[in-house]
Amino acid sequence: MKLKLWMISTGLLLLSQLAVAAEKVVVLTSYPQEVVTQFEAAFEQAYPEYRLEILWRQSRDAMNYLHQTHSPVDVYWTPAQRNFAVLAKEGALRKLDIDLNGLPKKIGGFQISDADGFYVATETAGFGMAYHPAELQKLGLPVPTDWKSLTAPAYSGHVVLPIPSKVGYAPMLIDTLLQGYGWEQGWSVLSQIAANASLAGAGATFISDDVGSGRFAVGATIDFFAVSAMANGKPLRFTYPEKVGYSPAHVGIFREATHLDGAKAFASFVLSEAGQKLLFHTDIRKLPVRPAVYASKPADYFDPFASAQRASYDYDVASGLARQELVAAVFDALITRQHAALKTMWAAIHQAEQHAPKDARLAKARRHANWLPLTTEQANDAALQQAFIKRDGNTDKLELQWDAEITRHYALATQLAQVVLGGK
């Protein structure tokens, strides 16, 4: 009996010593509990000498926390691309001195990791279209294969599109079309999709829920919302267009990390085959950034690297991040504030094109319909981008000018289409 008690007490002592000996690694993240739990358990099993200490902060709160507190943080691991870019620019991150073999910095032409090596993509989400198969079948509509599919008049009233100034993921989704098709054609595609769509803003239900309930047949969204809705029994599907856009998550190690070896171990684990395969878990379902693990992906799981071999385009992440507020302002001017006029205009143009497809006046109507307040060069002007980030008084004046010109051009486009329809 005494021997048994001695063995138990000795075992407990050893366990307590191991627990004390485990070095903590402080990780700042916005990932939900179901994601963190999977990685925390797997990491601590693979590296029993370390114990994770998790700090949860949403993206906006994280920057305030980092700038205002002196509490040491070792690792930043989260889907907040803009935060990583700012932290790297501020010199807060150290270059990742870990093995990155087998981890491409791009998916096709889409940059996912920092070119200078201060932060590396750990997974990515993809932009695409959630759709309700039964609703599409009932309406006699095909499953959309690309963004341009949603410009067809047959989809009118059956699409939902997020407003980039109101919905967090939407700025990059919108910029995907602008870079994928080019500035002018991208806005034309967006304008025609919007003419068929209802617009979703802040406080609205998730687009995936609206599609899952059958309120709309198709919605432009990000894949993890659709995957979550599907896991909860919503009868929807998700399709990635040919011009796929991505929203990667990253890992970075702080320059002032006090547990550097543990920080490197955690970053290495997240990027390892074992860590990447965790992304296939039904509670996570993210897209890995290590191509090799797709050999063991679940059935029907999207492979972005295979998709990029079929169709790809160059995406400038720095440009996309810098002009987010400006692009959102242009969207509001062209689409949000003009939505009723926009719908009337495109309906008239499409009807006129059916009525008299060879009428030369329709080309002029489309030129008015596709008028833009900015060129791509102006949209990439750093001073103008900063003005819209700060939202100073000059931007209000500029937007009033935009509104007046857009109203005029939309009215002219509508009038021309109506004249063609009238047979004059």
Per-residue model confidence as pLDDT tens digits over 245-304: 999 999 999 999 999 999 999 999 999 999 999 999 988 999 999 999 999 999 989 999
> Would the CATH topology of 13-124+247-314 be identical to that of 126-245+317-421?
yes
Strand partners, 221: 128
**Per-residue pLDDT for 16 more than 70?**
no
| Closest residue by Cα to residue 272 from 52, 115, 46 | 46
**Per-residue pLDDT for 1 more than 80?**
no
DSSP for 334-390?
IIITTHHHHHHHHHHHHHHHHH-TT-THHHHHHHHHT--SS-HHHHT-HHHHHHHHH
Count the Cβ atoms, other than its own, within 10 Å of residue 7: 10
- Indicate the residue type of 188: S
Helices (H), 196-222: 207-212
pLDDT of res. 392:
78
Distance separating alpha carbons of residues 10 and 344, to the nearest angstrom: 80
Region 56-64 average pLDDT: 93
CATH code: domain 13-124+247-314 is 3.40.190.10
Which position has the higher pLDDT, 22 or 178? 178
Domain spans, the chain: 13-124+247-314, 126-245+317-421
What does the pLDDT look like over 112-145, one tens digit per residue?
999 999 999 999 999 999 999 999 999 999 999 9
pLDDT of res. 14:
44
pLDDT of res. 166:
94
pLDDT of res. 12:
46
CATH 3.40.190.10 at 126-245+317-421, yes or no: yes
Region 16-22 average pLDDT: 56
Distance separating alpha carbons of residues 419 and 228, to the nearest angstrom: 48
Residue 157 — left, alpha, or beta (φ > 0 → left; ψ -120 to 50 → alpha)? Answer: left
pLDDT of res. 7:
46
What does the pLDDT look like over 162-213, one tens digit per residue?
999 999 899 999 999 999 999 999 999 999 999 999 999 876 558 988 999 9
Distance separating alpha carbons of residues 85 and 337, to the nearest angstrom: 32
8 pLDDT band (50/70/90 cuts)?
very low
What does the pLDDT look like over 392-408, one tens digit per residue?
778 999 999 999 999 99
pLDDT of res. 204:
52
